[in-house]
Amino acid sequence: MKNDPFRASFESLEEFADMVSEVLHCPITIEDANHRLLAYSTHDDRTDPARIATIIGRRVPEKVINSLWKEGVIPSLLNSRDPIRVKTVDEIGLGNRVAVSIWKNDEVLGFIWALEIEKTLGEEEMDCLKRAADATKNKLIQLQNRKNKKEEQFQEFFWQLLTSHLSSNEEIINKFHALQISPPTLFGIAVFQFTKELGRDDEKHIAYLLKTIQLPKILLHTIDHQQLILFISLDGTQQPVNKLNAFCELFVAKMKERFGIESIVQGYSSVYCDLVKVEKAYKEAGTVLSIKRKFPIEAKDIHGYQSLGIYKYIDVLIEKAGTDQNENYSLKRLQEYDKKNNTDLVETLEVFLNKDSNVHEAACALNVHTNTLNYRLKRISEIGEINLKDPNQKITLYLDLKLEKFK
Amino acid sequence: MKNDPFRASFESLEEFADMVSEVLHCPITIEDANHRLLAYSTHDDRTDPARIATIIGRRVPEKVINSLWKEGVIPSLLNSRDPIRVKTVDEIGLGNRVAVSIWKNDEVLGFIWALEIEKTLGEEEMDCLKRAADATKNKLIQLQNRKNKKEEQFQEFFWQLLTSHLSSNEEIINKFHALQISPPTLFGIAVFQFTKELGRDDEKHIAYLLKTIQLPKILLHTIDHQQLILFISLDGTQQPVNKLNAFCELFVAKMKERFGIESIVQGYSSVYCDLVKVEKAYKEAGTVLSIKRKFPIEAKDIHGYQSLGIYKYIDVLIEKAGTDQNENYSLKRLQEYDKKNNTDLVETLEVFLNKDSNVHEAACALNVHTNTLNYRLKRISEIGEINLKDPNQKITLYLDLKLEKFK
DNA sequence: GAACGTTTTGTGTAAATCCACAAATAGAAT
DNA sequence: ATTCTATTTGTGGATTTACACAAAACGTTC
């Protein structure tokens, strides 16, 4: 075995990257397990767009990560200690390169990338890269320790926010600065409910995903039994609520796609500026989850506290309806008619209302001709003595229909 | 003065009617103050459709009464003790005739009608008719006294119903029969709130109107301070609620038109079969009135408990919204935008929702082009992050808009 | 099986909606 | 005054609605 150039100690990861670059005659990039840039070689100025974007953004761009997952590159790196060759993917500006993962026992700490510009690495050089990966291990462990300590501080701070332990806005902002996070001017809290207690592996998966999804920015996150709680900055977003919603759906989709974790129930709060309202926001997300538990079908596609809509009021409505015990006359009449004549007027009405009074859509949903639906609606308004152009009446019917389901 | 044939005493009003008929050589009809048939001559079989209908129905048909009011005939009869000539009104089958009112002091007790078929009454015969009217006075006073006693029994029974003094359905039905009213299988309670304490004159006006409006049937009525309370039978009506509503509006319109009594606030209950529920119905009508007091503009056109719609729930909603103190994010954003840019997005949204999402109507109401409204709606959904096709979101906005008005 | 009422589907038309695009207007910032 | 942006209004065209009327299908009753 020839002399190993990486045995020598080195001051910084940058220095080490340059050294590897010189030995292999190609640009080198070192990332942590979450694809954040740790170091890159500078002596060689040949590069490709993906690498430039990585260096500029201090992280691998999300679309590049997505592509590498789809191509199976990252799964392979997570499974094998040997270098892997990645072929050019033009759409994302990724040139030919070789990658190797950095291991500590059974855990991947990071990756080394070597760009194959103008030359291709031979077997010996691949082996050399593998040894380089081994040599960075200790350095990465140190980094991780430092990060873990910081992570603990984050955790503590987040729980202080969630329990309103910090009462003044100023105090909170100072703490943010102390942790070197710029405090958001607009934020939301999201909670994801898993089907089982979250273990160390899940935590890593989650952390990985949160780090690689680049927008919106997850400033803080923590895990509480079966729940993942996120503190999300929405600064600079045009439509914060929509953004938040899109993120939550994306997160759930990726968890399933990448790690096969299913049945995650999601809920997120209103959007706030006032940092004192973190606890309120946290409770709102909890409310969403609890309503989803009660009304799994109806609230299936509702994730945000904003969009809870009438369900926000449903408990008091149920209570009120219970004490007054007044049935809706129109519904009663329709139900009687349905029973007597074997028709589906009540169901028709409900679908029609669910579809926002759109005859076309409702007819499709019911698998009937639009004229049929129109005929039924005419009958409904006759029998139930309903004016289907009066929003107040329609809303009442909508509410009473929903209420009836949960009696 | 020549000998007065009406001085002689007579057994019954029928006998008297025949006598007058023979003297004047024309058919005679005698009515009470509420246009109920008291007697009619039978010796002369010439007649007209209006008279036939009156005799068949034991009362003057409603449309004939309406016509006589419009023509000013009834007002004149109520003002003057002299006979009045009425010209043919073909549409309602009314031939030429002469009428005179029957007086006791300053009060009209009834009317005598003489049909002018093939002949016209001369001055002397007109005078004769006037004397005939005077001669019926005592007979009518007796009738009235008997009726007053019955009226008192009705009053007592009605209040027993209103206060749930009678607890079993059977007991109530027996009482109905005892008072010679056939118990309704479907009924409602209506309450009319006047602006002042109701005096004897008002009572008479009301009684008159109730007796002359023929459908639906007012089985019982009573007056309580500023309120008129009605027990209305809805038997045999296809659309009881709509019928009830139409009646209430008609009553208020007629009170204004005929007696100049304005600002009546109306409220009516749900429709019930169970006679034990009269008190509940009475309370419902009261609830409508109290909500109209709180929301005079919004609930202006709502009279029925059924159609209260969301206002039925508004108190608990206000309470809930108060304790939670969560503003609607979308509305907040829109309000901010309105303030900043001097626009009317919130108002636009409200009108749009009030008009049941009908672009055309809403645009008219706002006095803008439909395209303008469409543009605004697009902006509204962008700025408020609202999906205007989601009924749940729209309902929430509607509710929150209404709630905001009463904070 | 004939007669009946109710429901469903098809046809046609005037009106309304949705959309994109262009022009005119108004207000604010520079 | 000019530029810029947001708003309002106009035009046109494909789609959808509302409504009326006719024909077909279905279930019930006799």
pLDDT band at A148 (very low <50, low <70, confident <90, very high): confident
Judge whether residue A4 has pLDDT over 70: no
Identify the pLDDT of residue B1: 42
Going by the DSSP 8-state scheme, the letter that residue B273 receives in this structure is S
Q: Which residues of B touch A301 (CB under 8 A)?
A: none
pLDDT band at A1 (very low <50, low <70, confident <90, very high): very low
Q: What would the pLDDT profile of A91-144 be if each residue is shown by its tens digit?
A: 888 889 999 999 998 889 999 999 998 888 889 899 999 999 998 988 889 888
CA distances, A127 to each of A4, A81, A215, A270 (Å): 11, 11, 37, 53
Q: Distance (Å) from the C-alpha of residue B356 to the closest C-alpha of chain A? A: 5
Q: What angle do CA A238, A241, A244 make, to 5 degrees?
A: 100
Q: Average pLDDT in the B380-392 region?
A: 89
Q: What would the pLDDT profile of B319-353 be if each residue is shown by its tens digit?
A: 888 777 778 888 988 998 888 888 889 999 999 99
Of B406, B388, B391, B386, whose CA–CA distance to B328 is shortest? B386
A9 contact B CB<8A: no
Of A56, A52, A48, whose CA–CA distance to A93 is shortest? A48
B389 contact A CB<8A: yes
Judge whether residue B147 has pLDDT over 60: yes
Q: Which amino acid is at B372?
A: T
- The rounded distance, in Å, linking the Cα atoms of A405 and A295 is 10
Judge whether residue A73 has pLDDT over 80: yes
A374: nearest nucleotide, CA–C1' criterion? D18
A329 vs B317: CB contact, 8 Å cut-off? no
Contact yes or no for A155/A222 (Cβ under 8 A): yes
Judge whether residue B250 has pLDDT over 80: yes
- The rounded distance, in Å, linking the Cα atoms of A271 and A304 is 10
Of A218, A214, A210, whose CA–CA distance to A255 is shortest? A210
3-state secondary structure chain A: CCCCHHHCCCCCHHHHHHHHHHHHCCCEEEEECCCEEEEECCCCCCCCHHHHHHHHHCECCHHHHHHHHHCCHHHHHHHCCCCEEECCEHHHCECCEEEEEEEECCEEEEEEEEECCCCCCCHHHHHHHHHHHHHHHHHHHHHHHHHHHHHHHHHHHHHHHHCCCCCCHHHHHHHHHHCCCCCCCCEEEEEEECCCCCCHHHHHHHHHHHHHCCCCEEEEEEEECCEEEEEEECCCCCCHHHHHHHHHHHHHHHHHHHHCCCCCEEEECCCECCHHHHHHHHHHHHHHHHHHHHCCCCCCCCCECHHHHHHHCHHHHHHHHHHHCCCCHHHHHHHHHHHHHCCCHHHHHHHHHHCCCCHHHHHHHHCCCHHHHHHHHHHHHHHCCCCCCCHHHHHHHHHHHHHHHCC
Q: Which residues of B touch A396 (CB under 8 A)?
A: 308-310, 312
Identify the pLDDT of residue B8: 64
Identify the pLDDT of residue B5: 66
CA distances, A263 to each of A179, A209, A314 (Å): 34, 17, 25
Residue of A116 and B214 predicted with greater confidence: A116
Question: End-to-end alpha-carbon separation of chain A, Å?
Answer: 78
Domains in chain B, start-ordered, CATH in brackets? 5-142 (3.30.450.40), 163-312 (3.30.70.270), 315-405 (1.10.10.2840)
pLDDT band at B256 (very low <50, low <70, confident <90, very high): very high
Identify the pLDDT of residue B4: 64
Q: Which nucleotides of chain D have an atom under 7 angstroms from any protein CB?
A: 6-11, 16-21, 27-28
Judge whether residue A7 has pLDDT over 80: no
Q: Look up tokens 């840019």; give the residue.
A: B341
B393 vs A356: CB contact, 8 Å cut-off? no
Q: Which nucleotides of chain C have an atom under 7 angstroms from any protein CB?
A: 6-12, 16-21, 27-28
Count the Cβ atoms, other than its own, within 10 Å of residue B82: 14
Question: Considering chain B, what is the average pLDDT of its residues?
Answer: 88
Q: What would the pLDDT profile of B95-127 be if each residue is shown by its tens digit?
A: 899 999 999 988 899 999 999 988 888 898 999
SS3 category, B45: coil
Q: For residue B273, what are its two tokens?
A: 């079969």
Q: Which residues of A touch B354 (CB under 8 A)?
A: 391
